[in-house]
Amino acid sequence: MAALAPPVAAIRVAVRRALTGLPSGGVLVACSGGADSLALAAATVFVAPRLGRTATLVTVDHGLQDGSAARAEAVAAWGREVGFASATVVRVQVAGRPGGPEAAAREARYQALTEVARQQNAVAVLTGHTRDDQAETVLLALARGAGPRGLAGMPARRDLGGVPLLRPLLEVGREQTRAACAVLGLSPWQDPHNTDPSYARSRVRADLLPALVRALGPGVVDNLARTARLVAADNAALDELAGAALAAARCPDGGLSVAALLGLVPAVRGRVLHVWARELGALPGALSHRHVAALDALVTDWHGQGPADLPGGVRVLRRDGRLTPG
Q: In whole angstroms, what is the distance from residue 5 CA to residue 31 CA?
A: 22
Shortest distance in whole angstroms from residue 243 CB to ligand ATP: 30
Does residue 127 belong to the site contacting ligand ATP (CB under 6 A)?
yes
In contact, 179 and 39? CB cutoff 8 Å: no
Exactly one of 60, 122, 135, 231 binds ligand ATP (CB under 6 A); that residue is 60
- Considering the complex, state which of residue 106 and residue 315 has its C-beta at the smaller distance from ligand ATP: 106
Mask for 174-213, x = binds ligand ATP (CB under 6 A) = -----------------x--x-------------------
In contact, 150 and 197? CB cutoff 8 Å: no
Q: Considering just the CA atoms, what is the radius of gyration of the chain in Å?
A: 23
Collect all residues with Cβ–Cβ distance below 8 Å to 173 and sequence separation of at least 6.
Answer: 130, 131, 132, 221, 222
Tell whether residue 35 is among the known ligand binding residues.
yes
Exactly one of 44, 56, 59, 176 binds ligand ATP (CB under 6 A); that residue is 59
**3-class DSSP state for residue 82?**
coil
Mask for 94-113, x = binds ligand ATP (CB under 6 A) = ---------------x----
Give the distance from CA 140 to its chain's centroid.
14
- Considering the complex, state which of residue 36 and residue 296 has its C-beta at the smaller distance from ligand ATP: 36
Q: In whole angstroms, what is the distance from residue 281 CA to residue 46 CA?
A: 44
Number of residues that bind ligand ATP (CB under 6 A): 16
Shortest distance in whole angstroms from residue 40 CB to ligand ATP: 6
Does residue 168 belong to the site contacting ligand ATP (CB under 6 A)?
no
Exactly one of 10, 37, 245, 287 binds ligand ATP (CB under 6 A); that residue is 37
Q: Which helix (H) or strand (E) holds 30?
A: strand 27-30
Please give the angle made by the CA atoms of 139, 145 and 149, to the nearest 5 degrees: 80
Tell whether residue 36 is among the known ligand binding residues.
yes
Instruction: Give the binding site for ligand ATP (CB under 6 A).
Output: 30-32, 34-37, 59-60, 109, 127-129, 133, 191, 194
